Structure 1
Amino acid sequence: MKKLLVLTPLLLAGCAWLAPDYKRPVMPLPKTWQNAPTTQRDDSTWWRSYNDPVLDQLITQALAGSDDIALAKNRLGQAQAQYNYAFANQLPVLSVAGTDAYGKFANGRVNALGQSFHFPNKTSNFGFVGGMLNYELDLWGKNASLSNAAKAGVHAALYAQAAARLSVAAGVAQLYFTLRALDADVALLQQTVQTQDALLALVQRQYDVGAVDALTLQQVTEQRDAVHATLPDMEDRRDKTESALAVLVGQSPQDIVQNAVQRGQAIQALVVPDPTPSVLPSALLERRPDIAMHEQMLIASNFNIGYARAAYFPSISLASLAGVNNIDIDNLYRASSRSWTLGAAMAAPVLDFGRTESGVKLAKTGRDEQIVLYKQSIRTAFKEVRDALLAQATAQTREQDTHDRQTAAQERLNLTNLRMEQGYASQIDVLAAQSSLLQAQLSCVTARLQRLTASVDLYKATGGGFHTSPLTNARQPH
């Protein structure tokens, strides 16, 4: 037994690690973003760049009360507990053992060594109390692999929480912009309804005196009815968007039903940030929490292979028992004898009918699956950045075009008013010009919403202020 105690440190020093060495999968990355110069900016609170305090407040509220973030935080706690369990499994287990027997012992027993033991010839108690220590020698790194896999799981859950925070912040921003756009659309449609009602009333009077025919009256009536039919649908979309925003922010059911979401800047007053990413393509892998999450899941699957391979080799456990015993116990502190034992046990697989081999294959296929998912997350990230850049450019061009149309429609209305004052145009011409201007304004609102949404997509696609960092709240495995 003493030899075993001497050899134990040597066995531990020579333990083999069966998990493959991890190497990050290599993928060719672009050096720069196409047609988009990179500028450096602080985007840790990127939503503040839109210059709307109400939006800042809503996102702050959502980050504190969102159900999605609460679920991600709960999963992080589960992963942390699983890691703590796996980490503790590498350490010895100390327990307390005790017995108490009642019976009658024969007097004058002699053991195999010729030693004589004299027991009282009466009914007595025999008691023992002591401590037991159990420890499994992790010669093949089985428990350490399991602990490291759980540690990577904590990292993955941490990055998943960051991804949830980024998704919630982006979702709140986009819903808020949609709500402000629908507010503007409803207001413009209400003006359009008033204009169309006035136009129809004027054409009706002209029809009554025979100034216009029935076809003209029918066309104006259909145009007015179409506008009236559009307004309730637009109001319904606005109300549903407001409810969705209230849920995402984390408002109570009472607030969702009774209180309206606070409004801030008008849609056209919101600042659109510079449409260029603040990170080089090579740094995107460290900026996207979903990519970091998939890499940690890949690392965990790599350690799972080492855990599965360890089943090919024997497991060795040490057990020690030490304590005091007494016959006719009155008090354990007056023990008649003390005892201790130290033993070792080894179990080695001989025939498992392919069970271990199947476990290793399962771990390897799981690792291969995580490689595919990791590469897929990178492809998706670069696709989203490219799409966001293209959407930014397209939205900017579209907004400029709609702005030019609005300017032209406003100029037409001004000229029509002058012509009417001089007797060269009628009230119908003015109302028609007002209707054209309102349609151009609606198009401008849509174009501004598309540009704001594209800017949020770009912040989200480039990580939105996220940076990978080492785990600090979990114990490191030995």
Structure 2
Amino acid sequence: MRKILCLLPLFLAGCSWLAPEYRRPVPTLPATWNGARVVPRDDRAWWQRYGDPVLDELEAEAARHNDDLALAKSSLSQAQAQYSYAFANQLPSLSVAGSDAYGKFADGRVRAMGQSFRFPGKTSNFGFVGGVLNYELDLWGKNASLSNAAKAGVQGAVYAQDAARLSVAAGVAKLYFSLRALDRNVAILQDSIRTQDDILALVQHQYDVGAVDALLLQDATERRDAVHAALPDMEDQRNNAETALSVLVGRSPQDIVQTGIARGRPLDELSVPEPTPSVLPSELLERRPDIAMHEQMLIASNFNIGYARAAYFPSISLASLAGVNNIDIDNLYRATSRSWTLGAAMAAPVLDFGRTESGVKLAKANRDQQVVLYQQSIRTAFKEVRDALLAQNTASERDTDTLARNDAAAQTLRLMTLRLQQGYASQIDVLAAQSTVQLAELSRVKARLQRLDASVDLYRATGGGFTAAPVKEKK
């Protein structure tokens, strides 16, 4: 018994040699991001670089209450419980067993549990209480493979949680920027309505005195009606964006209905990070949580092959029983003898009609599927980085161009106002210049929003600043 207990640590270690050796698929990676300058930085809270305290508060609120993050946390807890179960399955199990009998035996001697007992011809108690130790020798690494697969599942769940956190943070930032853009658009349209009303009133007066024809009046009327019709649609978009943001940050139904979203800095005053990635292409495989998650799923599927292959080989179990026996008329719990047994059992497959082979084929097919998904996640990641870089550069140029056009329109309005004061222009000329400024401002807001969204997409594509702690080995 002692010798077997001394060998238990060797058996506990097990082995997973039946699982194929894991080799990470090595894709062909570019050396640089098409000449883009790499700026090393630590952006775990990358949204703070936009310089809006309200956005920071919304991100913190989403981290606490978002439903997707709660589901990801629950999935992680499930994976951890599964790993704990798989790890414990490698260890011996100890249970308590007992029996009690009360009756009358014939006068004589009976041999049981390695002991000789004399039974008097009277009513007696016969009892046993002891411990049972069971252990399956993991010679083929079946339980070790299952434990390692579960461990990879935990690490994958950690990365999945990071991916959900990054996705939610990006969604909150983009929705907040859209809300601020819609706020500005509503204000511009309200100014445009007043301008178009004033223009129509002037044209109507000119038409009444015969200075202009009906065609010019009709054109002014249509312009005024178009601006009036655009405002309700813009307000609906703003309300929908505000509601969507309330849901994303995890607010209660009462708060969604009764409480609005606070507003921070105006859109033009928000800082826009430099349109450059913070990592090299080779580092993207480590930083993108979705890529890391798919690799852990691939590792788990690799160990599952070892678990399936172990079914080809015999399973060997050890069982030990030790306790005390009692034959006593008066006191059942006063031991009169001690006993122990040690046994081993082996079960080997002989004919299973291809069940084990099918299990191995299924495990290999799942591993091949995970290889494809892992490679697909890499391709998708590099596509998203490339698209985000191009969008950043384009949005930056468009933002600069619209700013120049907006400044030019504002300068025209100032000059037209001076001409009006000097008698060289009419009020309707000033109002027309003011309308041009408002149209330029709408284009400016659109370009600014595109630039902010492109910067968020770049943060998300390069993995943001996620950090995932490795799963510690249980002892």
Shorter chain as denominator, the TM-score bin is over 0.9
Tell me how far apart the structure 2 counterparts of residues 185 and 353 of structure 1 sit (CA, whole Å). 70
SS of residue matched to 2:94: strand
Q: Is the 8 A contact 2:174 2:453 kept in 1?
A: yes
Is it true that 1:471 corresponds to 2:468 in the alignment?
no
What is the TM-score of this pair, normalised by structure 2?
0.96
Q: For 1:163-312, what aligned pairs fall within 5 Å after superposition?
A: 163-312=163-312
| Counterpart position of 2:412 | 412
Deviation at residue 461 of structure 1 after TM alignment? 0.7
The aligned amino acid for 2:141 is: G
Question: Deviation per CA, 1:269-302, whole angstroms, max 9, x where unpaired?
Answer: 0000111111111111110111110000000000
Tell me how far apart the structure 1 counterparts of residues 308 and 115 of structure 2 sit (CA, whole Å). 51
Deviation at residue 439 of structure 1 after TM alignment? 0.3
Question: Deviation per CA, 1:123-175, whole angstroms, max 9, x where unpaired?
Answer: 22211111101100001000010011001000010111111111111111111
| Counterpart position of 2:327 | 327
Q: Is the 8 A contact 2:158 2:468 kept in 1?
A: no
Question: Deviation per CA, 1:383-423, whole angstroms, max 9, x where unpaired?
Answer: 11111100000001101111111111112112212222232
Tell me how far apart the structure 2 counterparts of residues 146 and 13 of structure 1 sit (CA, whole Å). 13
Percent identity, please.
Answer: 74
| Counterpart position of 1:439 | 439
Q: Is the 8 A contact 1:324 1:332 kept in 2?
A: no
Tell me how far apart the structure 1 counterparts of residues 403 and 418 of structure 2 sit (CA, whole Å). 23
Tell me how far apart the structure 2 counterparts of residues 412 and 20 of structure 1 sit (CA, whole Å). 73
Residues 416-425 or 292-301, more deviating: 416-425
Q: Is the 8 A contact 1:108 1:116 kept in 2?
A: no
Residues 461-470 or 287-296, more deviating: 461-470
Tell me how far apart the structure 1 counterparts of residues 226 and 115 of structure 2 sit (CA, whole Å). 112
| Counterpart position of 1:138 | 138
Q: For 1:330-369, what aligned pairs fall within 5 Å after superposition?
A: 330-331=330-331, 334-369=334-369
SS of residue matched to 2:466: coil
What is the TM-score of this pair, normalised by structure 1?
0.95
Aligned residues: 474
The aligned amino acid for 1:325 is: N
Q: Is the 8 A contact 1:292 1:468 kept in 2?
A: no
The aligned amino acid for 2:406 is: Q
Deviation at residue 107 of structure 1 after TM alignment? 1.2
Q: For 1:64-103, what aligned pairs fall within 5 Å after superposition?
A: 64-103=64-103
Tell me how far apart the structure 2 counterparts of residues 132 and 117 of structure 1 sit (CA, whole Å). 23
The aligned amino acid for 1:247 is: V
| Counterpart position of 1:430 | 430
Gaps of 5+ in 1: none
Tell me how far apart the structure 1 counterparts of residues 409 and 403 of structure 2 sit (CA, whole Å). 10
The verdict on how the C-alpha distance between 1:262 and 1:14 changes in structure 2, with shifts beyond 3 A counting, is: closer
Tell me how far apart the structure 1 counterparts of residues 17 and 148 of structure 2 sit (CA, whole Å). 12
The verdict on how the C-alpha distance between 1:389 and 1:42 changes in structure 2, with shifts beyond 3 A counting, is: same
Tell me how far apart the structure 1 counterparts of residues 15 and 157 of structure 2 sit (CA, whole Å). 30
The verdict on how the C-alpha distance between 1:133 and 1:413 changes in structure 2, with shifts beyond 3 A counting, is: same
Question: Deviation per CA, 1:352-408, whole angstroms, max 9, x where unpaired?
Answer: 000000000000000000000001111111111111100000001101111111111
Deviation at residue 333 of structure 1 after TM alignment? 5.1
SS of residue matched to 2:119: coil
| Counterpart position of 1:454 | 454
Deviation at residue 190 of structure 1 after TM alignment? 0.3
Question: Deviation per CA, 1:75-116, whole angstroms, max 9, x where unpaired?
Answer: 00000000000011011110111111122111123659x997
Q: Is the 8 A contact 1:287 1:468 kept in 2?
A: no
| Counterpart position of 1:154 | 154
Q: Is the 8 A contact 1:286 1:468 kept in 2?
A: no
Question: Deviation per CA, 1:290-335, whole angstroms, max 9, x where unpaired?
Answer: 1110000000000000000000000000011111111235445521
Is it true that 1:58 corresponds to 2:61 in the alignment?
no
The aligned amino acid for 1:162 is: D
